Structure 1
């Protein structure tokens, strides 16, 4: 249930989608493709999030993902029933893709698919359906942020090789 990012990167990293359910960066699947998510971003919120990331990276040199420290009972019940996606951008940034990298090879259970790096950066990983990990055709599915492949995601991604 892990997905490594390897190849033309400074740091090979291993992602574990089973723990993302508790990560603050996750987005409900129903909200991921709505214009509300993209248009209602307040500039103050963007600056506040950037300041928090700066504090975490520079002052604490802490690479740990943000994790919900306390979850109410209602939030816990919601987590176990909703479907979630995770933006890929943070993971790509941590791996530090080589400046000459142009494509990403998605190695799935059935085939190998090559997509441009920019498409990978502008994507989500679907990692939970109705609060449960994707055991069939998992551990993650790739969905483009523009929603163009929402009905036909790239399924069964086992490894990402940066070319």
Structure 2
């Protein structure tokens, strides 16, 4: 059973999410370890400037090379981890791509029974959609579970999310 989750409402772009494709997404998180590992805040702008400077210097000295030539490792999961893992994905990039209108204040997650779960937009950005458990899609209870950013409801997530609406 494939269920697409729409992002709709008070936003510029309507987006459809297909949780079955996220297993191939490099942004996926291993939820068995995500909430127990120590979080390190990233200085994304500083990291970008360092990487750009390093790249520029290398190009001046050696000439341009492709990513493949550089042999940069991509984030990879072993086949066994994919077959047995419990994975999720942070909602922020999807919600930001929908571009909520300036007067939108909240995000409403509607579950399969019609229940509504309302959160301020800034809080919703950190939320995680769990899309697999023990290597399998979530089935009848899915297609996605809503997990709080701190994992406080990991044992009892909001199940059966069917739509996301900006209000």
Q: TM-score, normalised by structure 2?
A: 0.75
Larger Rg: 2
**C-alpha separation in 2, matches of 1:7 and 1:24:** 28
Cα 1:81–1:35 shift into 2, 3 Å: closer
Show structure 1 runs of 4+ deviating over 4 A. Answer: 40-46
Aligned length: 143
RMSD: 2.7
Q: TM-score, normalised by structure 1?
A: 0.77
1:112 maps onto 2:116 in alignment: yes
Confirm or deny: 8 A CA contact 2:26 2:75 kept in the other structure. no
1:156 maps onto 2:160 in alignment: yes
**C-alpha separation in 1, matches of 2:107 and 2:41:** 31
**Higher strand fraction: Structure 1 or Structure 2?**
1
Q: Indicate the SS of the match to 1:114.
A: strand
1:19 maps onto 2:24 in alignment: no
2:142 is aligned to: 138
The Cα shift of 1:80 comes to: 1.0
Q: Indicate the SS of the match to 1:159.
A: strand
Confirm or deny: 8 A CA contact 1:32 1:85 kept in the other structure. no
The Cα shift of 1:160 comes to: 0.6
The Cα shift of 1:31 comes to: 2.3
2:103 is aligned to: 100
**C-alpha separation in 1, matches of 2:47 and 2:87:** 21
**C-alpha separation in 1, matches of 2:119 and 2:109:** 8
The Cα shift of 1:90 comes to: 0.7
2:34 is aligned to: 32
The Cα shift of 1:46 comes to: 4.7
Confirm or deny: 8 A CA contact 1:102 1:117 kept in the other structure. yes
